[in-house]
Amino acid sequence: MWIAKTKAELRARLDVGSRPVVLVPTMGALHEGHASLISMAREKAGAKGIVIVSLFVNPIQFDRAGDLAAYPRPLETDLVVCETRGADGVFVPDAGEMYFPDRSITITENSLSEHLCGATRAGHFDGVCTVVLKLFLLTNCDAAVFGEKDFQQLAVIRRMVRDLDLRTEIIPHPTMRESDGLAMSSRNARLTPEHRADAPRIRRALLAAAGESDAATILRTAGEIIGQSHFARIDYLSLVDAETLTPTKSLEKPAVLACAVFYGEVRLIDHIAVTADA
């Protein structure tokens, strides 16, 4: 498995003509969820293709300096995961390699990103779209694998691919969970023992609420269960149209119940599909 730290090194490694090239964009701190993405990429690439994992903590998608500073960066452990799961190469740039000091171009999505995480994290999806497009261009990838846990991110990336006529196929992977239901996240490692023990209530709240029959009860049920915690603070809890990601009070079309919850300074997200016959 090769490692490239610069764009020039990456391009040199990719000048071999092997296809398809399948990208797994990550910010590192890899867990079993990420490992599953790499395995899916390996399956998609086949024996003749190339799987590339990017490990880059993208500074322009963080809205809180403290969150960026505290984000874990266990590079050696990450490289082991990449190699074990079949990656051919890993791209590990620093911020100075990815962004010019006087950069002035940003990719902006202004519909799907207006609500949920986009409403509370100014500029977040601009940063996501910009770095993902750069990675697509740098790797010239045929496909890229994204986890469904970040379902708004997945929707935004798909929209970017559609609207900009990009050739990259977007491959979704189901949310991976711990045995107690908590969605796997690199941020879970930053939870205190007390917070980690309490955090599975997020999943319990969503499951209980999804069984209700109307929007108001769905939101109330989830809010009450999360609100019973002495540690959890709701950033948002919203029922949105599954296609437009705009808030909805109707269950006539597929909907998604989504939330972001703070435990101290650690922000966790999760969601669940909701239908009229749930």
Q: Which residue has the tokens 């149209």?
A: 241
Q: Which of 31, 34, 173, 230 is catalytic?
A: 34
Q: What is the 3-state secondary structure (H, E, C) of the chain?
A: CEEECCHHHHHHHHCCCCCCEEEEEECCCCCHHHHHHHHHHHHHHCCCCEEEEEECCCHHHCCCHHHHHHCCCCHHHHHHHHHHCCCCEEECCCHHHHCCCCCCCCCCCCCCCCCCHHHHCCCHHHHHHHHHHHHHHHHCCCEEEEECCCHHHHHHHHHHHHHCCCCCEEEEECCCECCCCCECCHHHHHCCHHHHHHCCHHHHHHHHHHCCCCHHHHHHHHHHHHHCCCCEEEEEEEEEECCCCCECCCCCCCEEEEEEEEECCEEEEEEEEECCCC
Give the domains, in start order, of the chain with CATH numbers. Answer: 2-173 (3.40.50.620), 186-270 (3.30.1300.10)
pLDDT exceeds 60 at position 212: yes
Residue 92, token pair as written in the block: 């590990």
pLDDT confidence of residue 63: 87
> pLDDT digit string (tens) for 85-131?
999 999 999 999 999 999 999 999 999 999 999 998 989 999 999 99
Of 169, 176, 168, 126, the residue nearest 150 (C-alpha): 176
Provide the pLDDT for residue 136.
98
Asked about 34 being catalytic, the answer comes back as: yes
At residue 277 the predicted structure's pLDDT band, cuts being 50, 70 and 90, is low
**pLDDT for res 222:** 98
The pTM (predicted TM-score) of the whole model is: 0.94
Mean pLDDT of the chain: 95
Q: Model confidence at 278, in pLDDT bands (50, 70, 90)?
A: very low
Contact of 112 with 20, CB cutoff 8 Å: no
Provide the residue count of the chain: 278
Cα(191)–Cα(232) distance, integer angstroms: 12
**Residue 31 pLDDT exceeds 50:** yes
